[in-house]
Amino acid sequence: MAEIKVPELAESITEGTIAQWVKKVGDRVEKGEFIVELETDKVNAEIISEEAGVLTQVLAEEGDTVLVGQVIAIVEAGEGAAPAPAAAVEEPKAESAQTSAPAPATVPAAPAPVAQETNNERVVASPAARKLAREKGIDLSAISPVDPQGRVRVQDVAAHGSAPVAQASAAPITTSNGPVVFAPASETDRITIEKMSRRRQTIAKRLLEVKQSTAMLTTFNEIDMTNIMALRKRKQEEFVKANDIKLGFMSFFTKAVVAALKKYPYVNAQINGDEIHLNNFFDIGIAVSTEEGLVVPVVRDANAKNFAEIEKDIADLAKKARDKKLGLNDMAGGSFTITNGGVFGSLMSTPIMNGTQAGILGMHSIVQRPIAVNGEIEIRPMMYVALSYDHRIIDGKDSVGFLKTVKELIENPEDLLLNS
C-alpha cells in the first residue's frame, strides 16, 4: 500500500486546494503517473503516484483545502478495474425479486446520480464549473464549451443553465398602498455565486498587503512612440528571419528599464526590516493575464540578454502561464516588474507593486494624439507610462528621473544599444 501525500513545493507554500482528480477510485495507476492536480497560491502542481497499483481511496474531494504532508489518497497493489458503483447497486434489486423481504429505500434512487457523475467525470472541466454544475443539476456532457480544446468553464455552465429558464419571470404583487410591483421569482436567477479560487484569494490578499504596508505613490510621463515604431517596422522582417520570433515593444521596454535601474539603483531595491537591500541583479517580472488572474513570471538576468532572447523568454513564459505550466522557479524572486495594460485598451492606470519590490512600470495604449513638436502641432503615436514606487526608499527625484530615462531611451531606441 502507498500513501499519496501533498508534497513540499516551496518554503512559502503550506497548503493547497484539490483542483481535479485525474484518476478515480478503481483506476489502474502506474508509477510516476499524474493522478491529481493541486492548486496552490502560485502554481498548479501535478501530484504523481510513487507506486504502481490501484487507486482504492480518495481522502480529499475537489475543492478541499489540504496541507503539505497530508495523505489524500491510497494506492494498493493490484490490476485495477474495480467494480463500478452502479453494478453494486443492481445486486440488491435482483435479490429483492427472489425474496419477499422489502428492498432498502435508498436502492431505487441510486442509479441516476451515479450515471450522471460517470458522464461528468469524462468531461474536462474546471473545479468551479463542476461545482456549479452540481448545484444546478446540469450534466456537464450536455454543455457545449467555448474553449476550442473542449474544457468546460464556469461561464459555459452559467450560460447553459440560464438559457432554458422559463419560469424566471417576475410575479406581480400588490402592496398595501395599492401600486403593483414586481419581485424576482428566484434570487438565484439574478445572481451567480462563484467561490474565489485559491489563486484569486492570494492575489487579493497580497495586493491589499502592498497597499497597507508601503507608502505607494505613482508618477506619470508620456512617450512619443514614433521612432521605436519606425525602427520596429524597418527591422521586423530581418529580425524574424534571424531569430524566428517577432520584435515586440516589450524587449525595448525591458532594456530601457534595466538601463534606468542601473542609473537609479534604489528603484531596484527592497526593504527588509530596517535594512535596504540593493539588488545587483536584474530579474524583470513580466505581468501576464490568465483566466485565473494575473501572474508575474520572471525574465532572469535581463541585462545579459539581447532583444531576441528577451522576446523568446517572454513568449515562452506567457505560453506556460496560459497553459498552467509555470513552475515556482519561473516566478520566484524578481527585482522589478513591468505590466502592460495597453493590450486591454487601458489609457492610464496606477499599477500596484508586486510583493516586496520597490517599483513597477505600467505601459498603456498607444494613441494618436496632437502634440507640440518644435513649435508645430503634429499627430503622434503617444503612450502614457506610470511608475508606482515605494516612497519610503525612493524619493521623487529618483522616481521622476527613472521614468524620464525610460522615456528618452524609448524615444531614441538606437541609444539602447549603447546601454546593452
Q: Is the pLDDT of residue 103 over 70?
A: no
- pLDDT at res. 122: 59
CA 48 – CA 323 distance, rounded (Å): 19
Residue 194 CB neighbours (<10 A)? 14
Is 383:222 a contact under the CB 8 Å cutoff?
yes
In the chain, the percentage of residues whose pLDDT exceeds 90 is 40
CA dihedral for 202, 203, 209, 210, sign (positive or negative) = positive
Q: Which residue has the higher pLDDT, 37 or 245?
A: 245
Residues of 28-62 as b/e, b for ≥16 C-beta within 10 angstroms?
Answer: bbeeebebbbbbbbbbbbebebeebbbbbebebeb
CATH topology of domain 198-419: Chloramphenicol Acetyltransferase (3.30.559)
- Give yes or no for a contact between 247 and 307, defined as CB atoms under 8 angstroms apart: yes
Quickly tell me which residue has 506610470 as its cell: 386
Q: Supply the pTM of this predicted model.
A: 0.62
The pLDDT score that the predictor gives to residue 366 is: 97
The residues carrying an active-site annotation are: 391, 395
Residue type at position 153? R
Q: What are phi and psi of 256, to 5 degrees?
A: -65, -40
412 falls in which pLDDT band (50, 70, 90)? very high
Tell me: pLDDT of 193 over 70.
yes
Closest CA to 20 of 115, 150, 125, 120: 125
The alpha carbon torsion through 48, 53, 54, 60 (nearest 10 deg) reads: -30
338 CB contacts (<8 Å, ≥6 apart)?
250, 253, 254, 257, 284, 285, 286, 287, 360, 361, 363
Whether 51 and 35 have beta carbons less than 8 Å apart is answered as no
Cα 407 from Cα 228, distance rounded (Å): 11
In whole angstroms, give the CA distance from residue 235 to residue 412: 15
Q: What percent of the chain lies above the pLDDT cut of 70?
A: 78
Residues 328, 10 contacting (CB under 8 angstroms): yes
The mean pLDDT value for 72-90 works out to: 61
Q: What is the pLDDT of residues 9-55, one digit of tens each?
A: 765 677 888 888 888 888 888 888 888 888 876 677 788 888 888 88
Question: Is the Cβ–Cβ distance between 292 and 197 less than 8 Å?
Answer: yes
Q: DSSP 3-state assignment of 297?
A: coil
Q: Are 388 and 362 in contact (CB under 8 A)?
A: yes
Q: What average pLDDT score do residues 242-254 get? A: 95
Segment 147-159, tens digit of pLDDT? 655 767 766 777 7
- CATH topology for 2-76 is OB fold (Dihydrolipoamide Acetyltransferase, E2P) (2.40.50)
Those residues whose C-beta lies under 8 Å from the C-beta of residue 39, and which sit 6 or more positions away, are: 16, 17, 18, 19, 127, 197, 198, 199
The pLDDT value recorded for residue 269 is 94
pLDDT at res. 121: 52
The pLDDT of residue 223 is 97
Domain boundaries defined on the chain: 2-76, 123-163, 198-419
Cα 195 from Cα 65, distance rounded (Å): 13
pLDDT at 97 over 90: no
Q: What is the pLDDT of residues 281-335, one digit of tens each?
A: 999 999 998 887 788 999 999 999 999 999 999 999 999 988 888 887 898 889 9
Q: Rounded mean pLDDT of 206-230?
A: 92
Cα torsion 3, 4, 10, 16: sign: negative
Question: Is a pLDDT exceeding 60 seen at residue 245?
Answer: yes
- The 10s digit of each residue's pLDDT in 359-399 is 999 999 999 999 999 999 999 999 999 999 999 999 999 99
Q: Which CATH architecture has domain 123-163?
A: Irregular (4.10)
Considering only 37-41, 231-235, 352-356, which range has the smallest mean pLDDT?
Answer: 37-41
| pLDDT classification of 130: cutoffs 50, 70, 90 | confident
